[in-house]
Amino acid sequence: MESVLKAIESGKDASVTILEELLRIPSISADPDRKGDVQRAAEFLANVLRDSGLPTVEIIPTDGHPIVLGEWCEDPSVPTLLVYGHYDVQPIVDLAEWSMPPFEPQIRDGKIWARGATDDKGQVLAHVLSVAAHLRETGKLPVNVKLLIEGEEEIGSEHLAEFVRTNRDRLACDAIAISDSAMYAPGIPSICIGLRGIAYVEFTVRGPAADLHSGGFGGVIENPAVALAQVLAGLKDPGSGRILVGGFYDGVEEPTDEEKAGWAKLSDPDGRYLAMTGSPQLYGERDRTTLERVWSRPTLDVNGIWGGHTKPGESMTVLPAVASAKVSMRLVKNQRPADVVAKLRSHIEEHLPDTVTLERFVELHGGDPWTSSVDHPAVQAAFRAVEKGFGKPPVPTREGGSIPIIPMFTEILGAPVVLLGFGLGDEGAHGPDEHFDLSNFQAGIRTSAHYLMEFREVAAASKGSA
């Protein structure tokens, strides 16, 4: 292990170079024009895996973007760890909000800046590079490893579940490690034991058959953008912050007092959220702490809204025919995407005026919420590995985001999921100026290397408890 850690330390610059090369590929899975780039990212990763000494490396096509699978399963006596990550990235919404070109990585202030740095290229590479270090130094791995890296995470992992189901035996494992989440704060390593689910819809409200002149028709024809604003405004009570969709909170589970007490000890979450976001004030449900709001409460957000003429500075006098919105809800234990989507749809249909119609209502994306247990041996091994990798014991936390594939993995492979988050909450995942702290990158590689060692205990523990 000593030599592996030394190799990781001395390979620091080379690691960053590999990350830079991967970040240079604009693998935006949502953009059909980037299909070639997504493929190129898969090929680059496969080459890195091959260079690392993995005996089996495959780029597996799907009906969407390909899956990269690298395997080292040479010792049937040791447990098997599946590492999941993704090499696709979020789109660039507004290039003007970026301080640098998103696909020309720069190193500044000990961070690497580029789209995909923290979500998820940097984090997944930490595992790839720890595997490479083990193989280079010892010619083998402490446990069997299967690296499954997909290219459709940012568009809902459309073809992953089918792949996992079809390749259930090939992917068999004792636990699944995922690094696609954030530490609580710089210098406070953490292990995430809960995630919110998601239900994401898009809908369009239609007034007239076509765009009209707002002078000739304003006041006598409903404005669908106003009707949309009214229905969106009615989804949340501005006073209490409660979501007003009927039955939305049915069965919602509160975190345990013990968990809440742990959160209450974490330093200055309000200050951190204000600093991370630059918002004038925090927001949220009355009588809840910030961490409760983001980690344990369901929410509703407008992710996009559009209608009429949207070019800044132009005064087109249009009464738009349609107005649309993307609305997503984050879910907690006992909420199911299909159920809340049905409730939202009923609410919208009930509250839209008769002067417009709900022309389109599409469920774009859904994922169940997830909670883990700190008592599981694979999680316990992770706590030890993080402590060794970061030099500090990790804190059990939750995240407000969703990784809908986690319940899927658990269901199909029957193995627990362990979330080793190496990112930080303010690293611009899904926003402009995305970056990744390079000291956390190194600590992540070390943690992964330790985890392969600590993971040897898991099968024994599992067998013991079976």
Window 147-166: residues binding a second copy (CB under 8 A): 154-156
Which residues partner with 191 through β-bridges?
396, 420
The minimum distance between CB 439 and a second copy, in angstroms, equals 21
Q: Does 264 help bind a second copy (rule: CB under 8 A)? A: no
Q: Does 421 help bind a second copy (rule: CB under 8 A)? A: no
Which residues partner with 329 through β-bridges?
199, 300
Task: Give me 187's structure tokens.
Answer: 């210098």
229, 356 contact by CB (below 8 A):
no
Q: Does 136 help bind a second copy (rule: CB under 8 A)? A: no
Q: Please identify, using beta-carbon distances, which residue of 226 and 420 lies nearer to a second copy.
A: 226
Q: Which helix (H) or strand (E) holds 198?
A: strand 197-206
Peptide bond into 120 cis (omega under 30): yes
CB atoms inside a 10 Å sphere around CB 60: 14
- Binders in 218-237 for a second copy, by CB under 8 A: 218-223, 225-226, 228-230, 232-236
- Binders in 8-37 for a second copy, by CB under 8 A: 30
Applying CB under 8 A, which of residues 86, 115, 146, 196 lies at the interface with a second copy? 196
In angstroms, the CA 184 to CA 268 distance is: 11
Q: Does 316 help bind a second copy (rule: CB under 8 A)? A: yes
Q: Does 188 help bind a second copy (rule: CB under 8 A)? A: no
In angstroms, the CA 49 to CA 20 distance is: 16
337, 367 contact by CB (below 8 A):
yes
The minimum distance between CB 365 and a second copy, in angstroms, equals 4
Taking CB under 8 A as the binding criterion, the range among 59-67, 184-192, 338-346, 358-366 that sits at the site for a second copy is 358-366
The minimum distance between CB 235 and a second copy, in angstroms, equals 8
Q: Does 317 help bind a second copy (rule: CB under 8 A)? A: yes
Q: Does 432 help bind a second copy (rule: CB under 8 A)? A: yes
- Residues near a second copy (CB under 8 A), total: 106
CB atoms inside a 10 Å sphere around CB 220: 8
- Binders in 329-348 for a second copy, by CB under 8 A: 330
User: Nearest to residue 91, comparing CAs of 277, 303, 400?
Assistant: 303
The minimum distance between CB 364 and a second copy, in angstroms, equals 4
